[in-house]
Every structure is written in structure tokens, then in C-alpha cells.
Amino acid sequence: MIVVDRRGWRRPHEVPCIQHRFRTPPMPALVNHANSPFPPAGSPIAQSASPATLAEVARRAGVSTATASRVLNRSAPVSPELAAQVEHAARELSYVRRRAASARDTGVVAVVVFADPLQYHVDAFHARLLAGLRRALPGSERELAVFTVPRHSRRPPLVRFLCGGHVDGAVLVGPWGDSGLTRLLRAARVPVVALGRPAEPGTVRYVDADNLAGAREAVRRLCLAGRRSVVTIAGPPDTAAGADRLAGYHQAITESGAQPRAAVAYGDFSGASGEHAMLHLLDQRPTLDAVFVASDQMALGALRALRRRGLRVPQDVAVIGFDDAPAAAKARPALTTVRQPVEELGIQAMEFLQHGGSDSLVLPTRLIVRDSG
């Protein structure tokens, strides 16, 4: 794995901010492996006027596009029954395997993380994500080149590298701002997929967790448990995850009808910001008895703040986090949290990048009940 820190490449110019709608580039057929059950690309049947797509094979087989991709590309094990269904559907439709278009074959996929480099190394989310991306490349000679890009920084050198024929595709992680970056990548015929819903709808295909539904379920649990003053520590409002989790909190509070008004403090997903926000909320609403926190790192900071004030968890204040990071189960008390399938997000993002597709994907979350709330 290659790790590149972007901060040493500063230049004085900005990337132009131009809005656009993303369209997937055409996908040329690849030569099939010798042991493939599908017809070769040059055969008359494969050159039909309307070649079958992966989505059509999935529909014919009655499975998801991700499952069909795993079978046809042998990227992960599935049951023999499902494999037989997909292979039969592929033969019926004369499916020819394809991958996302690229003008080069460098053996490198760029993972661009828009976060402070220190936060990148501290937050376990990124390590879990990279593990998922790597799992989608079994036996592959491709490498992952990781770039950490501070938010709102200048990016021309990074854009020149990504568009200069050095990578086969790019995975964008975190908020990258306007759509100028994806426009330039598309113009350079670099396949791109986002990890997380982009701020501007329709600009790029993405894979995300259902942040809104996960937050709503967590806050409903607190309300149904009889907590009368449920507050939240939200993530940055200019990020999709921060906005969606806050929206889920507001929905659950409104539905409960038991609380006169919501109370919100903001953090940046770090532990220190969670501790500071918790202290602020305690000052503003001393009678609070529950807090939903938009990340586990911030929730751990909130636990520290509650201990400093002499409050017991969950007897005095219940706490629920979000992510199910490894540290959540080790916290004292063990942290109740919303699990998002981080590794699966990485797998799906890489499959989108390698094999194309027109639809974005949102994966479900799950509430993990432990001791804190």
C-alpha cells in the first residue's frame, strides 16, 4: 500500500468550481479468462446490438447487483445455489464481463481522504474502510495509493496527478466540496466513486450507510426508555453524515412528542470536540438525561465529560454513539452504538469502481445495545 501526504504539494491556484451532472463513461469489453463460462468478446453473440448489463443479469437471477458481481468476478464466496442462478442467467443473456472504462492500466487505485491527516490516523473508520477496499481486490496486482487532503485546501497538484494517467480510478472519501473535482476526473476518463453521499446530488455514484435511519432508531430507543430530555452532539453540518444523523435525531424527537424542543451542539467527529460539546450541553440544559452522539469518537469524549461532572452512565445520563468502532466495546461502560458496515462499504465502492453500474447504493445500519444506553 502506498501512502502519500498531500500537504507537501501546495501550489498557489485553486481548482475551478464548475457544477455539472456526472455521467458514467462508456465501458469497453475486456477479453475473458479462458475458464470463463461466458462467450468471448469477439464472438458474434457477444457483438449483439444490445449487450446485457450486470444489472440485467442480477434481475434475471433474482439477486442483487453486488451478489452478481461477486459471482461473475469471483471476488467473494457465495452459496453454490446463488452462483448457479447467476451463471445460468449470464449464459441466457450472453453476458460479457466488462469493467469501468480507463485509458490506462497502471495497477493503482487512488483513495482520496478529505480529512486532517492526524484525524485520518486516529479514526479507526479509515483503517476499516481500507480493509474493505483491499478485500475487493483478492489476488489482484493493484495497489491502493492513499492521499490525505485537508478540507478547503488547494488541490491542483493532486488533480494533475489523478488526471495525468497515473491511476486506474479514484475513491473519494469525505466532503470534497464542489463538483469541480469530479468534473475534471470525468473529463480525464478516470472512473470515480464516492464513499458517502455527495453534497450535490447526481454528481457522482456513491456508496453510503443509512445514517438518517440509524440515528432515528437510536433516539427512538432513548425516548421509549422514558428519557425526558434527549440532546445530541452532531457532526459537521456541511457533511452528509453529519446532516443525515442530525435529521434522524430531529425526526425521532418530533415523533416522540414528549420533549418540548431539541438541543444540539456540534463537533468535528473527534474525541476532544465531543468532550467540549458535552460540557456545553450540560451547562445549557442541566436536566438532560440522554445524549445521542454522531460518532463513537465524540461519544468517548462525552463519557469523559460526564465523569468529570460526577454523572453516572446510564443511571443519570444515557449515551448512544454511531459507527461501532472497536473502542466502543472496550469503553467503560461499554458503548451502545449504531453499527455502520464500514468494511462492506469499501467492498461495494471498489466493485462499483471496477465493474461500473449506474445506481448508487445505501446500506442498512444496526443498533448494537450495550451498557451505556
CATH number at 329 reads 3.40.50.2300
Residue 179 lies in a domain: yes
In terms of domains, do 147 and 10 share one? yes
Q: Which residue has the higher pLDDT, 345 or 5?
A: 345
By DSSP bridging, strand 366-368 and strand 336-339 are antiparallel
Confidence at residue 122, expressed as pLDDT on a 0 to 100 scale: 81
* pTM over cut 0.75: no
**Range of 38's domain?**
28-98
Across 214-233, average pLDDT? 96
Quote the distance between the C-alpha of residue 147 and its chain's center. Answer: 16
The reply to whether 225 and 328 lie within a common domain is: yes
- The residue among 98, 122, 156 that closes a domain is 98
Helix, strand, or coil here: 290?
Answer: strand
Which amino acid is residue 202, in one-letter code?
Answer: G
Pair (239, 311) in one structural domain = yes
Same domain, 129 and 148: yes
Mean pLDDT of 204-209: 92
SS3 321: strand
Same domain, 289 and 153: no
Name the least confident of 106-110, 147-151, 154-158, 338-342: 154-158
Within this chain, do residues 9 and 134 fall inside the same structural domain, yes or no? yes
Based on the fold, state whether residues 63 and 11 are members of the same structural domain. no
Q: What is the mean pLDDT of residues 156-171?
A: 88
Q: Check whether residue 182 and residue 259 sit in a common domain.
A: no
What per-residue confidence (pLDDT) applies to 4? 47
- When pLDDT is averaged across residues 144-162 and rounded to a whole number, the result is 82
For 134, other C-beta atoms within 10 Å of its C-beta total: 18
Q: What is the pLDDT of residues 275-288, one digit of tens each?
A: 999 999 999 999 99
Query: Looking at per-residue confidence, does 15 or 316 come out higher?
Result: 316
- The pLDDT of residue 12 is above 70: no
Q: Which of 214, 286, 227, 290 is nearest to 256 (CA)?
A: 227
Q: What percent of the chain has pLDDT over 90?
A: 48
Residue 217 has pLDDT above 50, yes or no: yes
How far apart are the C-alpha atoms of 13 and 214, rounded to whole Å?
A: 40
Give CA–CA dist 320/373, Å, rounded: 6
- Whether residue 215 sits in one domain with residue 327: yes
Domain count, the chain: 3
224 and 152 assigned to the same domain: no
Q: What pLDDT score does 199 carry?
A: 77
Grade residue 252 by pLDDT with cuts at 50, 70 and 90: very high
> Do 119 and 225 lie in a common domain?
no
Please tell me which residue, 245 or 198, carries the higher pLDDT value.
245
Residue that finishes a domain, picked among 36, 64, 98: 98
Output the pLDDT for position 140. 65
Phi, psi of 27, deg, nearest 5: -115, 105
- DSSP states along 9-67: G--S-PPP-------PPP-PBPPPPTT-SS--TTSTGGG-SSPPPHHHHHHHHTS-HHH
The arithmetic mean of pLDDT across residues 163-177, rounded, is 87
118 and 203 share one domain = yes
